[in-house]
Amino acid sequence: MAVGKSVIRLDSKEKVTGRALYVEDIYMTGMLYAKVFRSPVAHGIIKNLDISEALKIKGVKGIFTAKDIPGKNIIHVILDDQPFLAKEKVMYPGHPIAVVAAITPEACEKALKTIKVEIEELPAIIDFEQSKNNSVKLFENNNVFCSFKIRKGDFDKKYDSNDYVTVEETFYTQHQEHAYIEPQGAIVYWEDDTLTIRGSMQAPFYVQRAVSEVLNLQYSRVRVIQQTTGGAFGGKEDVPSLVCAQAAICAYHLRVPVRIVYDREEDMQTMSKRHPSRVKIKLTADKTGKFVHVYGDYLENAGAYSTLTPAVLYRGTVHLPGPYKIDNIYVDAEAVATNTVPNGAYRGFGSPQVIFAMESAVDMLAEKLGMDPVEIRGKNLVDYGDTNSTGQILNDSVGMKEVYNKVVEKADYFNWKKQIEEFNSKSEYIKKGLGVSTLYYGVGLGAAGKSMSRCASMVKIDADGSVTASVGVTEMGQGLRTVTAQMVAEFLGIDIDKVVVSQIDTSRISDTGPTVASRGTITAGWGVLSALAKIKKSLHKFLEKKYNTSFEDVYFKDGKVKFGNNELEYSELIKMATDEKIHLHETGLHVPPDTTFDKETGLGDAYYAYAWAMNILETEVNKLTGEVTLKKAVCGHDVGKAINPREVAGQIMGGSLQGLGYGLMEDMQVSSKGKIITSNFSTYTIPTSCDIPEFIPVIVESNYSKGPYGAKGFGEQPLMGMAPALTNSIYNAVGARVKQIPATPERVQESMKNIDF
Amino acid sequence: MAVGKSVIRLDSKEKVTGRALYVEDIYMTGMLYAKVFRSPVAHGIIKNLDISEALKIKGVKGIFTAKDIPGKNIIHVILDDQPFLAKEKVMYPGHPIAVVAAITPEACEKALKTIKVEIEELPAIIDFEQSKNNSVKLFENNNVFCSFKIRKGDFDKKYDSNDYVTVEETFYTQHQEHAYIEPQGAIVYWEDDTLTIRGSMQAPFYVQRAVSEVLNLQYSRVRVIQQTTGGAFGGKEDVPSLVCAQAAICAYHLRVPVRIVYDREEDMQTMSKRHPSRVKIKLTADKTGKFVHVYGDYLENAGAYSTLTPAVLYRGTVHLPGPYKIDNIYVDAEAVATNTVPNGAYRGFGSPQVIFAMESAVDMLAEKLGMDPVEIRGKNLVDYGDTNSTGQILNDSVGMKEVYNKVVEKADYFNWKKQIEEFNSKSEYIKKGLGVSTLYYGVGLGAAGKSMSRCASMVKIDADGSVTASVGVTEMGQGLRTVTAQMVAEFLGIDIDKVVVSQIDTSRISDTGPTVASRGTITAGWGVLSALAKIKKSLHKFLEKKYNTSFEDVYFKDGKVKFGNNELEYSELIKMATDEKIHLHETGLHVPPDTTFDKETGLGDAYYAYAWAMNILETEVNKLTGEVTLKKAVCGHDVGKAINPREVAGQIMGGSLQGLGYGLMEDMQVSSKGKIITSNFSTYTIPTSCDIPEFIPVIVESNYSKGPYGAKGFGEQPLMGMAPALTNSIYNAVGARVKQIPATPERVQESMKNIDF
């Protein structure tokens, strides 16, 4: 049995020993370095651009501007509003204007300082709440990139009578930086008359299409290989298209290898972030605590271009009402333009913002009703047969209640609560608190991204029985290769060591869409199982011919193959079949279950499956300083099937900590000129090993009948509910309701102001 | 129409501009250089090997000997007699004993000089005619690696009566050096926990297996990528297994990238060559000139290990009797061991030797009968329905007669002959001569190699209609990628620009056997057509579903797709199908027609198809110096279908010149100690542009019904008959019968000794 086993991640050894090849480890003969010349201002018109002096600098081999683009000056994502290089206008500080290629990074830097640009500055929009209908027009539709809504049930009904209790509040969230260990980078070179790109990325097929369009090359002439990728978290979904195109335009014109690697500052200042937001919530329950209505108003700051915003906003819209039975829902969501860095994908994808707001509101409502936060949630959580926020009937793998029960039990919640009360009664300034959140996650691309929802693969069995499997989804540290190998090994009944999961390469695998939306495991699984089914069929046929009889099925287990009353060693069968030239190399394509979406009501089957989660967090708050210490977190997640429980636990811990960083300390500051001023880890602090609370991961497996081995996917979910668990725990500890994250000591103090202590 | 068009080779631009990446163009961070420590003697016992001082040299990172081999100390080819590194015994000068890895080539060299080895020298066999039954035993079976025979018809019959004319002669051929532009080399590194090998090679699947066995790694953990390969000619069939393993053992132990590139001297001294031979021929005809019997005795010098010798000898055996109707055949062939460099594959693969002998004998017999060399051949050539040397009925693509007729016509042979006689009558010392040869070539691996005869492929169509095709055969300068792209383009009715033929990579394509035996075009074609047929089927089904009716067939032509009365643009269809998630990525496997072989008689269907050729060469011979000048050559070849006529012509010219070099000047010298002493191009001369005669290629297309677009394959054939055409022309010019090639001025003078002038 390979599935369900806590196999050590296959890529861990080469990463730990330093053998893994990252982009910066690749040097090619004759290689040039590329760097980007960027706008110093947030908004303006380029009056003149003079590269002539810069071109004379020793070692500079080329400087490329919008004029040098052989194809479209567009980086394709969704709305196609983002130019590859600014031509007339600059839209945010750091907006790329030109790319320099030179024999040393130093020559590049010198060129950047020598390029002369005259920009007529225009008034800029920095505050996103001031964007819509602003006299400054950044996007044609009154600066609104996109909007979504949900109108479910009696969505307009008023609940003014005394039979109902309502809370209404506005919440704010900030930019969040992905803080991947490895910054953006790519090396681009010609090989076999094909432009070959090796980059750090989540979505090679995005890069292939974007670069093809910029350079006017056919898709097959742009070969994209995902290089070992040092973290991504959404930050390498769409952005690498831009980064790779920057190196690519140099390699295209100069016909030599070109490498681009951002330094941390450039990366933090110019790469996408989580969308800052304002979320207004009005949540109404009856006297028993049953939620009857939720109103939500979600405003996202998209930055200068829309990039992935439509998809991000869609997910936020669907996820706003949370994992609760609520018959009547009214949600409006809009994303607006500002002259700041374009925001994009980030683990959770528009949902942590609304979950922070909604889960805060749930706690506020519980308090108003005199209920325990756990109790009120238990009363409202969905179960099999219920509908979710978009009216989708939940009938497969609905583990919410099971997660709830297990987490409450594992946490020994009521005892824990008692212990904390006891502690607080004895401690004057240091107070403990418990914070709770429940949430769900729509797995996969959903109705907004379903056109990309494909699961391609290639599986090849060599003569010695060892296997090479290729899938269209990427490993970026989340363990994708390991679970893929486990699923292949499980199917063939062989040891996982026999399976190599190859590097993703657009020339060997067909478009599988991006590796996002917690779809890695399920996409890889569906993919390889579809190719393996073909191989199994060939072997079945081969055995029937060989034995001159028919067999109902062929079973692979423990290195053996059983059919009828016969048994063969797996390796013996493969050797025989290879010798007889049976084809053991197949491609597969699985198309996931359909999803639907009605633009007018927001109703439909938004995602093919949902993951479910509950977190209980204990913190300690210093009433004098406002400092919060993370103590212990019980985090429960329904994943359908844990293909690798150890990795599921790892995802829970890593993701939860990332969510705690978001809630507690990651405080990105944007200047009044739109520039990110916290552009390295000395000013933008993220949790370190010192900050980690005791994590108690709780894994729930409510089999997803359509998933590979019952798995669905949940990689983003651990992050998503931690900010409200944190702020709820702070409130629980010291009565301070933090409505704007991160909950820095200053904000906690501020929130405590009207509390008497 | 893409097939049949003289498309310019797709790889030419990147090779001419220097953009092509050869092994030596790849530098990787932290890369080490490897060099091989070799035996200074031909035969001996290693008494002591001391690497301790060498290991202390600055920059030396490791020295690996037979003790460090984790797997088998064998380089797998056929008989598995060749160790990867010598352990107890050395068998030829240059025999590898250890591999040094260091940070600079200089440190490697220093280490090579510092390693101490004590070898007890043993008596060596250098002269292959003295090998069999020698008291020195190199190979268990009396130094005979392998033997073949043909016993056809009344093979033992004597032809002593006056009704028959017989010639009997013994011929000798020398080593031939492949003289590929790029010497052997590879770079080996770990990527994704897989040992990745990029090397200059013809047979990546050989390398994969050999290295897997040496390092005890599963096949899937050894990924072999063919790097741009600067020529091969057989010299990169089996030998790269050894070269790659040398770099691989260093990378395996040291876990860093390791590059090995031989210099010319090392390459020429230690890499495989064409087998030197002795061929005895006794050819009998009746008075009308009809061949009635041939006796052949073929002895090959295999060198110290058998490597590919069994396959080489088999081909020579089958090809000895030539393209003639001969009912009675008796052939014996043996390959013996000597303490010289192991010989292996070389364009023609054992056949140029026997063709030299047989075609010389045919001319001698013609003279004895008073017939013209062209006339006697015309009388005896096979046609449809005849049998070949192994009794195979020739019933498909038998273009011998057509080649003969076209060449004689194109050459205007009898006029040409007259002009030459006229010239000679006026010239005292400079004499012209015409030489003729006819021959055939069994295409593909044949009965001896049929276990490897598979044609795998992978074809992927991207959303924009551009195609990536992978095949299991390699481009090494012969134009394989171009013809592959042409066949794909032809099938889909699209422009060849839309097709990218990817680098061969064992992780993306299943074992297709080696790229040898002139099987490249036919193997690639069979492969891609089998995958394309699947894609066509999917599109056909898709269209039927879309149009809700059935169509007999779907036709791709000129960028359009026709079905029933409908027509679509190809790109439109692909876009539609992609949007609807139709799978346009398939693997294919074609198994070529079977071949057979009877060990006792040599009879059977030796090859699935045959190519046919005739050459007429004009030379000028200086009677005083023995110098020969190449004037003009008419070379006709039946290729089934010229997928790319320009490339066919290129192959004819290049191959013919290589054959003329073999016949005329390539004079490899081996010392009495077994060492190759002509180890660079100042002592081993090959034809240069100054030596090229006027070539008139004649292409014949006798459709091969089972081949892709009627093609078969002929890449080796141009070389094969040029040596006898040359020596026959010398005889024709000055009456000197050169029985040992190359026909150096000294040999020509020697042969003229008993001629009165």
Give the Cα separation of B380 and B327 in Å (integer): 11
B239-269 pLDDT, tens digit per residue, is 999 999 999 999 999 999 999 999 999 999 9
Residues B681 and B568 in one domain: no
CATH number, domain with residue B28: 3.90.1170.50
Q: A500 to chain B: which residues are within 8 Å by CB?
A: 192-194, 218, 220-221, 223, 507
- Which of A190, A221, A454 lies at the smallest CB-CB distance from B14? A190
Residues A440 and A458 in one domain: no
Please tell me the predicted confidence (pLDDT) of residue A193.
Answer: 87
Residues B222 and B240 in one domain: yes
Residues A523 and A434 in one domain: no
A540-549 pLDDT, tens digit per residue, is 999 999 999 9
Give residue B317's domain range. Answer: 277-447+598-752
Please, what is the Cα angle at A304 between A298 and A309, to 5 degrees?
A: 45
Q: B589 to chain A: which residues are within 8 Å by CB?
A: 581, 583, 585
Q: Do B613 and B718 contact (CB within 8 A), yes or no?
A: yes
A603-640 pLDDT, tens digit per residue, is 999 999 999 999 999 999 999 999 999 999 999 999 99
Q: Do A27 and B28 touch (CB under 8 A)?
A: yes
- Backbone φ and ψ for A251, nearest 5 degrees, come out as -65, -35
pLDDT at B704 over 60: yes
Which amino acid, one-letter code, is at A753? Answer: K
From B543, B566, B590, the end of a domain falls on: B590
Q: Which of A400, A383, A386 is nearest to A439 (CA)?
A: A400
Q: Do A587 and B458 touch (CB under 8 A)?
A: yes
Mean pLDDT for the stretch of residues B16-28:
91
pLDDT band with cut points at 50, 70 and 90 for residue A757: low
Around Cβ B559, how many Cβ atoms within 10 Å?
Answer: 15
- Which of B193, B470, B502 lies at the smallest CB-CB distance from A14? B193
Can you read off the two tokens belonging to residue A285?
Answer: 């329950």
Can you read off the two tokens belonging to residue A147?
Answer: 């909007």
From A556, A573, A590, the end of a domain falls on: A590
Give the Cα separation of B592 and B598 in Å (integer): 19
Please tell me the predicted confidence (pLDDT) of residue B503.
Answer: 87
Please tell me the predicted confidence (pLDDT) of residue A29.
Answer: 87
Long-range contacts, A679-682 (Cβ 8 Å, 24+): A679/A264, A679/A265, A679/A268, A679/A269, A680/A264, A680/A265, A680/A268, A681/A179, A681/A264
Strand order in the sheet with B32-38: B60-64, B96-102, B32-38, B258-261, B185-191, B194-199, B222-226
Residues B549 and B626 in one domain: no
The 3-class SS string of A372-386 reads: CHHHHHHHHECCCCC
How high does pLDDT run on average in chain A?
97
Q: Do A508 and B470 touch (CB under 8 A)?
A: yes
Please tell me the predicted confidence (pLDDT) of residue A164.
Answer: 97
Q: Do B25 and A25 touch (CB under 8 A)?
A: no
B580 touches chain A (CB under 8 A): no
pLDDT at A19 over 90: no
Q: How many structural domains does chain B have?
A: 3
Give the Cα separation of B205 and B207 in Å (integer): 5
Q: Do B27 and A26 touch (CB under 8 A)?
A: no
- Which of A482, A507, A576 best probes binding to B when mutated, by most B CB atoms within 10 angstroms? A507
- Is residue A1 included in any domain, yes or no? no
Give the Cα separation of A659 and A641 in Å (integer): 23
- Is residue A547 included in any domain, yes or no? yes
Instruction: Please enumerate in sequence order all residues whose Cβ is within 8 A of that of A420, keeping only pairs 6 or more positions apart, or say none.
Output: A432, A433, A434, A618
Q: Which of B283, B304, B256, B495 is nearest to B380 (CA)?
A: B283
pLDDT band with cut points at 50, 70 and 90 for residue A192: confident
Q: Do A29 and B26 touch (CB under 8 A)?
A: yes
Q: Do B28 and A29 touch (CB under 8 A)?
A: no
- Which of A21, A29, A481 lies at the smallest CB-CB distance from B27? A29
Give pTM, 2 decimals: 0.96
A698-741 pLDDT, tens digit per residue, is 999 999 999 999 999 999 999 999 999 999 999 999 999 999 99
Residues B645 and B705 in one domain: yes
A413-425 pLDDT, tens digit per residue, is 999 999 999 999 9
Q: Do B192 and A467 touch (CB under 8 A)?
A: no
Q: How far is CA B241 from CA A210, B203, B236, B244, B565, in A?
A: 40, 9, 9, 5, 55
A254 touches chain B (CB under 8 A): no
Task: Name the pairing type of β-strands A467-471 and A499-501.
Answer: parallel
Radius of gyration in angstroms for the set of CA atoms belonging to chain A, rounded to a whole number: 27
Please tell me the predicted confidence (pLDDT) of residue B608.
Answer: 96
Mean pLDDT for the stretch of residues B451-468:
97
Mean pLDDT for the stretch of residues B404-425:
98
B581 touches chain A (CB under 8 A): yes
Residues A504 and A554 in one domain: yes
Give the Cα separation of A257 and A178 in Å (integer): 28
A538 touches chain B (CB under 8 A): no
- Is residue B142 included in any domain, yes or no? no
Residues A481 and A564 in one domain: yes
- Which of B193, B462, B510 lies at the smallest CB-CB distance from A460? B510
How high does pLDDT run on average in chain B?
97
Please tell me the predicted confidence (pLDDT) of residue A216.
Answer: 98
Q: Do B507 and B540 contact (CB within 8 A), yes or no?
A: no
Q: B460 to chain A: which residues are within 8 Å by CB?
A: 220, 507-510
CATH number, domain with residue B546: 3.30.365.10
- Which of B29, B193, B224, B575 best probes binding to A when mutated, by most A CB atoms within 10 angstroms? B193
Please tell me the predicted confidence (pLDDT) of residue A112.
Answer: 98
- Helix (H) or strand (E) holding A107, with range, is helix A105-114
- Is residue A163 included in any domain, yes or no? no
Instruction: Please enumerate in sequence order all residues whose Cβ is within 8 A of that of B545, keeping only pairs 6 or more positions apart, or say none.
Output: none
- Which of A212, A255, A463 lies at the smallest CB-CB distance from B19? A255
pLDDT at A503 over 90: no
Q: B730-750: b or e for each residue (b if 16 or more CB lie within 10 Å)?
A: bbbbbbbbbbbbbbbbebbbe
Q: Do B446 and B318 contact (CB within 8 A), yes or no?
A: yes
Residue whose pair of structure tokens reads 């978009």 in the numeric block: A390
Please tell me the predicted confidence (pLDDT) of residue B757.
Answer: 53
Residues B436 and B478 in one domain: no
- Is residue A322 included in any domain, yes or no? yes
Q: A256 to chain B: which residues are within 8 Å by CB?
A: 19
Closest Cα in chain A to B579: A451
Q: Do A456 and B585 touch (CB under 8 A)?
A: yes
B618-667 pLDDT, tens digit per residue, is 999 999 999 999 999 999 999 999 999 999 999 999 999 999 999 999 99
Q: What percent of chain A has pLDDT over 70?
A: 99
- Is residue A397 included in any domain, yes or no? yes
Q: Do B613 and B720 contact (CB within 8 A), yes or no?
A: yes
Count of CB contacts below 8 A, A vs B? 184
- Backbone φ and ψ for A144, nearest 5 degrees, come out as -95, 115
Residues B676 and B637 in one domain: yes
Q: Do A27 and B25 touch (CB under 8 A)?
A: no
- CA A458 to chain B, closest CA, distance in angstroms equals 8
pLDDT band with cut points at 50, 70 and 90 for residue B753: confident
Q: Do B702 and B152 contact (CB within 8 A), yes or no?
A: no
B91-108 pLDDT, tens digit per residue, is 999 999 999 999 999 999
ipTM exceeding the 0.85 mark: yes
Give the Cα separation of B757 and B755 in Å (integer): 6
Q: A583 to chain B: which residues are within 8 Å by CB?
A: 456, 510, 587, 589
**DSSP per residue over A7-37, as a string?**
PPPTTHHHHHTT-S--GGG---TT-EEEEEE
Residues B436 and B461 in one domain: no
- Is residue A716 included in any domain, yes or no? yes
pLDDT at B7 over 80: yes
Residues A518 and A653 in one domain: no
Residue whose pair of structure tokens reads 């794909």 in the numeric block: B488
Greater confidence (B26 vs A119) lies with: A119
Please tell me the predicted confidence (pLDDT) of residue B561.
Answer: 98
- Is residue B266 included in any domain, yes or no? no
Mean pLDDT for the stretch of residues B48-76:
98
Q: Do A507 and B497 touch (CB under 8 A)?
A: no
From A261, A296, A322, the end of a domain falls on: A261
